[in-house]
A and B are shown apart, each in its own frame.
Chain A
Amino acid sequence: MTGDTNGTLGRREVLKGAGATGLVLTAGCVGSDEEPAETSTPESTVYEIGMVNSLTGSLADFGTYNKRGMELALESINEVGIDGGTLEIIVEDSESLPDAGVSAAQKLATQDQVPFVIGAVGSGVSTSIYESVIEGSDIVQLSQNSTSASLTDYPGLLRMSPPGGPQVQVLSDVIAEDGNGSVAVAWVNNDFGQSQRDGFLEAWGGEVAYESPHDQEQSSYSSVVAEMANSGADAWVFLTYQEQTALMLSDAFSNAYEAAFYGSDSAKGPSVLENTPSGSIEGMKTVEPSAAVDQANYQSFASRFEEAYGTAPTSWSSFAYDCVITAALSILTAEEFTGSALGGTVRGVTASPGTTVTTYAEAVEALDGGGPDAIDYDGVSGPIDFDENGDPVGAFQVFEVSDDEYTSLGTRSA
């Protein structure tokens, strides 16, 4: 217990230190460009919000990218400031587990008394936090990376990453637009496959010639492939993982079956290209959740990211970035710094009506003292626009295999 408190205090000190350093840097920066006096006086308000991130555990890769996205967002915000104040984020580790995530959120809610919590990565962690800590309080929760359909059942639990539903909706649209009348759907026999399949069949208006689950790690998928071929479908849809997709596509090639191939994001990857005969999946199209890669704000985010961390950002880091910006905008437009006030503004700032803005600085300028309906923030990850269930309108990128490589056909939304 004592150790824990010490550790926490230590981390907060570090964060404060980091924040202070940031302030000094910012002050210096702004000072050289514009008026040096006004920016950050010692009395300026510090707005503290919380974040539950997967710093360790099975989702630590996501956590790393989230942290980077968060840091860049803080930089963007504190350069301009929130009504002269600054934003600080107290980060707690969920260890990628529901239990630890709930303790982390509990600490943020009771000890730090933050009105806004960004969290978490894993869908199970996000819903556990919502059920045990957030529900019944007025704290706003915004998940950065959870994509499970289960979050849709909690309208109060917002998220930045689009759920799988709209993704298969887009996939279905693409297949129909390509002129296919019937589909054969092979889906992986688990929660993920089942929810993708349900969503797809709901969205698909044409004929379903075949749909059947398959298990992972089978020694042979010949019978699945033979059945798909038997069905005579125009399009084959793979709602499964890379490995199974590659095996079935190879089998289709060695049996000389012809169809148009489609897949969700999990059916796309370098291993699919490597493990299928060259040229055999030419024209296969896949859809994946994506940041708004063709927008200028994303491109500047990506280049800042590369500069700072020496690697390209993931979609997940862009979601974390937008979480922080959205939090800042809702603080900026709220009457007071409380959960209920923030809950009242968080949806408005990212949705119409309002002037469309794509960066925090633009938003501050466009607001000019106005309320949440004065702006519509379209982030680096997409248009956001939370719906009644707290889900964003995701942007999706369509890829096509050409010359044994995935080429982007651009982004679209559901």
Chain B
Amino acid sequence: MSILEYLANGLVFSSIIVLSGVGLSLIYSIASFANFAHGDTMTVGAYGALVSFGAVGSMGGLLFGLPYGFYVALAAGALLAALVAVITQRLVYEPLEIGSIGLLITSIGIAFVYRALIQLGFGTDGRRYAVPAMRPVEWLVPVGIRITVQEIAIVAFAAVFVVALHLVLTRTLLGQMMRAMADDASLARVSGVRTSRIKLWTWVLGAGLAGAGGVFLGLYNQIEPRMGFNILLVVFAAVILGGIGSVYGAMLGGFLIGMVDQLMPVLGDIGIPIGTEYSYAVAFLIMVGVLLARPSGIAGTTER
């Protein structure tokens, strides 16, 4: 089996981590706390898409092996995740006058609340989206790559979202204000940036991306109440590896961690007896190694 196969798997898994990671990093840099409810926000997105996909149906044809209705559901899931996050921010995080550690602990509680509500509504069983089951793209199989059109769609969409986010951050006034806030919130405020509105938009973008990541995770793996929480640790690893607070670092970190996770079989192939069950351990080891060399992460700024 060629290494291309593992790389293809890694690319798909990385895409999901990147989508979730950039959202987490964005929220960290502007709302100034590590949001442990981020994983469960992904779950909210996945279930939002499940319900709306059930409601709109397939809507006729297929695009990238996915029914048109699925794209509507993807948008609905991302919107729901954003909405839930904004409501939480307004009702809980905003009024709480505690430091970032307090908010961090609060967000763990919020994560439990999200998950409990989902379990109440849907039970704990794993589900799948009613999309057609796919076989690998035929002309790629001889090259040694087995990837379905749906998996290619996941990668493509992640790329589109990441580029779009890049454009928002660099080319729009909103993006400039967001970056200004991330650099120095009080300076941004005295310069006339309406910080609470920017914060709101940050939550919308960050949670929306998480929601989309959740929908893709559900498509790639399965939809169940713990899905987001189970991947959260890896997402954190990716974000910290890249340099927490840096959106571009999160992209790179997510890509690396996803690849490491899926390239684990290579170790066995070349005679290093470390099984795939240790993939997270290896990923974290790499993270620690990078942090020892570069305490602020790959793309982190030094003062953070």
Q: Name A residues whose Cβ lies closer than 8 Å to a Cβ of B.
A: 189, 212-215, 217-224, 226-227, 229-230, 243, 246-247, 250, 253-257, 271, 274-275, 277-278, 280
Residue of B with least CB distance to A257: B146
Query: Which of these, B1, B125, B133, contacts A229 with CB under 8 Å?
Result: B1
The 10 A-B residue pairs with the shortest CB-CB distance, nearest first, are: A277-B133, A219-B231, A255-B146, A222-B9, A223-B276, A230-B1, A217-B230, A227-B265, A212-B275, A256-B136
Residues from chain B with a CB closer than 8 A to the CB of A213 are 275, 277
A-B contact pairs, 16 of them (CB 8 A): A214-B276, A219-B221, A222-B13, A223-B9, A223-B263, A223-B276, A223-B279, A226-B5, A226-B6, A227-B265, A247-B126, A253-B135, A254-B135, A254-B136, A256-B141, A271-B126
Given A253-B135, A275-B126, A275-B222, the answer on whether A218 and B230 have CB atoms closer than 8 Å is: yes
A278 near B133: Cβ-Cβ < 8 Å: yes
Question: Is B264 an interface residue, CB under 8 A from the partner?
Answer: yes
The answer for the CA separation of A222 and B264 in the assembled complex, in Å, is 10
Chain B interface residue bracket vs A: 35 or more
The answer for the CA separation of A246 and B127 in the assembled complex, in Å, is 11
184-200 of chain B: CB within 8 A of chain A: none
Residues from chain B with a CB closer than 8 A to the CB of A250 are 128, 133
Residues from chain B with a CB closer than 8 A to the CB of A255 are 136, 146
B133 near A223: Cβ-Cβ < 8 Å: no
B265 near A223: Cβ-Cβ < 8 Å: yes
The answer for the CA separation of A226 and B217 in the assembled complex, in Å, is 19
The answer for the CA separation of A246 and B9 in the assembled complex, in Å, is 18
Query: Which of these, B148, B151, B222, B261, contacts A247 with CB under 8 Å?
Result: B222
Residues from chain A with a CB closer than 8 A to the CB of B141 are 256
Residues from chain A with a CB closer than 8 A to the CB of B275 are 212-213
Interface of chain B, helix or strand or loop or mixed? Answer: helix
Contact with A along B144-167 (1 / 0, CB 8 A): 001010110000000000000000
Given A213-B275, A226-B6, A275-B127, the answer on whether A220 and B230 have CB atoms closer than 8 Å is: no
B128 near A226: Cβ-Cβ < 8 Å: no
Question: Is B262 an interface residue, CB under 8 A from the partner?
Answer: yes
Residues from chain B with a CB closer than 8 A to the CB of A254 are 133-136, 146, 148, 150-151
Residues from chain B with a CB closer than 8 A to the CB of A220 are 9, 13, 220-221, 261-262
The answer for the CA separation of A253 and B217 in the assembled complex, in Å, is 18
B117 → A minimal CB distance (Å): 20
A209 → B minimal CB distance (Å): 12
Residues from chain A with a CB closer than 8 A to the CB of B221 are 219-221, 247
253-304 of chain B: CB within 8 A of chain A: 261-265, 268-269, 275-277, 279
A395 → B minimal CB distance (Å): 30
Question: Is B26 an interface residue, CB under 8 A from the partner?
Answer: no
Residues from chain A with a CB closer than 8 A to the CB of B265 are 223, 226-227, 230
B270 → A minimal CB distance (Å): 13
Across chains A and B, the number of contacting residue pairs, with CB separation under 8 Å, is 90
**Interface-central residue, B6, B141, B275, by most chain A CB under 10 Å:** B275
Question: Is B210 an interface residue, CB under 8 A from the partner?
Answer: no
Residues from chain B with a CB closer than 8 A to the CB of A280 are 133
B271 → A minimal CB distance (Å): 14
Given A212-B277, A215-B277, A271-B126, the answer on whether A223 and B231 have CB atoms closer than 8 Å is: no
Residues from chain A with a CB closer than 8 A to the CB of B151 are 254
Residues from chain A with a CB closer than 8 A to the CB of B276 are 212, 214, 223-224, 227
Residue of B with least CB distance to A243: B126
Residues from chain B with a CB closer than 8 A to the CB of A247 are 126, 221-222
Residue of B with least CB distance to A215: B277
Question: Is B179 an interface residue, CB under 8 A from the partner?
Answer: no
B217 near A219: Cβ-Cβ < 8 Å: yes
Query: Which of these, A189, A275, A277, contacts B277 with CB under 8 Å?
Result: A189
Residues from chain A with a CB closer than 8 A to the CB of B12 are 222
The answer for the CA separation of A39 and B31 in the assembled complex, in Å, is 82
Residues from chain B with a CB closer than 8 A to the CB of A214 are 276-277
Contact with A along B203-247 (1 / 0, CB 8 A): 000000000000001001110101100110010000000000000
Residue of A with least CB distance to B125: A271
Residues from chain A with a CB closer than 8 A to the CB of B234 are 219
Residues from chain B with a CB closer than 8 A to the CB of A229 are 1
The answer for the CA separation of A278 and B262 in the assembled complex, in Å, is 27
The answer for the CA separation of A220 and B12 in the assembled complex, in Å, is 10
Contact with A along B1-18 (1 / 0, CB 8 A): 100011001001100100
95-146 of chain B: CB within 8 A of chain A: 125-128, 133-136, 141, 146
**Interface-central residue, A221, A255, A256, by most chain B CB under 10 Å:** A255
B1 near A226: Cβ-Cβ < 8 Å: yes
The answer for the CA separation of A127 and B219 in the assembled complex, in Å, is 44
B149 → A minimal CB distance (Å): 10
Residues from chain A with a CB closer than 8 A to the CB of B9 are 220, 222-223, 226
A59 → B minimal CB distance (Å): 18
A267 → B minimal CB distance (Å): 14
Residues from chain B with a CB closer than 8 A to the CB of A274 are 128
A191 → B minimal CB distance (Å): 15
B146 near A227: Cβ-Cβ < 8 Å: no
B39 → A minimal CB distance (Å): 10
A219 near B227: Cβ-Cβ < 8 Å: yes
Residue of A with least CB distance to B1: A230
